[in-house]
Amino acid sequence: MTLTDAKCRAEKPGASRRKLSDGQGLQFWVQPNGSKLWQLIYYFAGKQRQLSLGPYPEVTLSEARSRRDLAKALLRDGKDPAQEWRQPVPEERLPGDTFKDVALEYIERRRRENLAVPTMIKKKWLLEFAYPTLGRMKVAEIKPVHVLRVLQDIEEKGNFETARRVRATIGAVCRYAVITARAENDPTIALKGAIASPRVVSRAAITDPKALGGLLRAIFSFDGLPPTVAGLKLMAMLFPRPGELRWAHRTMRAR
């Protein structure tokens, strides 16, 4: 459905970036900070490319359509509009498309879902490992090798479980970028099995009453996923084998 100038003026910002299409690759983006931008999606040399056509209302709807038509004419002549329009319509990075931009938006969304404060602190802490390498990169340009460098730095210090959690958190941010049209895929999928698994160390049974009390307090104050919390409490009360607990079924006994 084509846009109208009245609709462009009336669009209000939301919690995340929102896209409206005018047709033939012309897109109208409404940013969470209230800015509105024109973007052209086109194909050149077999690859999808994007080009900023300027902010709205400085660039009106009719002007954006004119620039789109000029870009299509250049494409018919075998020319890339991004290369041809260095002065009139410079190629520029849209706000909100770096890894750190998307990560902060993802964290805010999770916060609105009422995740526990300790959980939010852990997520922010895990993302701090990624920012030095990935923070300023466009999330759409992040490759598996870039993520692998982050994980290898953590692995070299022997923190295998942290590396696993960082990979999962980076993947969650990248998948959020995919659903908000800022990336095409999640690069962490290709890294399955690429990092060392944490070494499991068997522990002796706790027989000291004070030490057991400390363990129970830790279990009942643990802030994690609900199935994990429930599993730890049932383990402490019923003493099943881990596999028996995982495959247990709820049964209803008639009274």
Q: How far is CA 50 from CA 42, 44, 123, 244, in A?
A: 6, 10, 31, 53
Residues 144 and 223 in one domain: no
CB 217 within 8 A of CB 173: no
The length of the chain is: 255
pLDDT recorded at residue 250: 64
Final residue of a domain: which of 191, 218, 235? 191
Residue 199 makes CB contacts below 8 A (sequence gap 6+) with 160
Residue 88 has pLDDT above 70, yes or no: no
pLDDT recorded at residue 237: 86
**Is 123 a domain residue?**
yes
Residues 76 and 9 in one domain: yes
Mean predicted lDDT score pLDDT of the chain: 83
**Domain CATH code at residue 38:** 3.30.160.390
**Is 252 a domain residue?**
no
**Is 196 a domain residue?**
no
Residue 153 makes CB contacts below 8 A (sequence gap 6+) with 129
Residues 120 and 151 in one domain: yes
**Is 151 a domain residue?**
yes
Task: Domain count for the chain, please give it.
Answer: 3
pLDDT recorded at residue 99: 93
d(CA 225, CA 247): 18
**Is 164 a domain residue?**
yes
Residues 222 and 168 in one domain: no
Average pLDDT over residues 146-166: 88
pTM, two decimal places: 0.48
Residues 120 and 182 in one domain: yes
**Is 71 a domain residue?**
yes
**Is 202 a domain residue?**
no
Residue 147 has pLDDT above 90, yes or no: yes
Final residue of a domain: which of 84, 110, 145? 84
**Is 232 a domain residue?**
yes
Residues 124 and 178 in one domain: yes
Residues 187 and 215 in one domain: no
Model pLDDT for residues 200-226, shown as the tens digit of each residue: 677 788 888 888 888 888 888 877 777
Enclosing domain of residue 225: 209-246
Residue 89 has pLDDT above 50, yes or no: no
Identify the residue with better confidence: 228 or 90: 228
Identify the residue with better confidence: 171 or 18: 171
Residue 93 has pLDDT above 50, yes or no: no
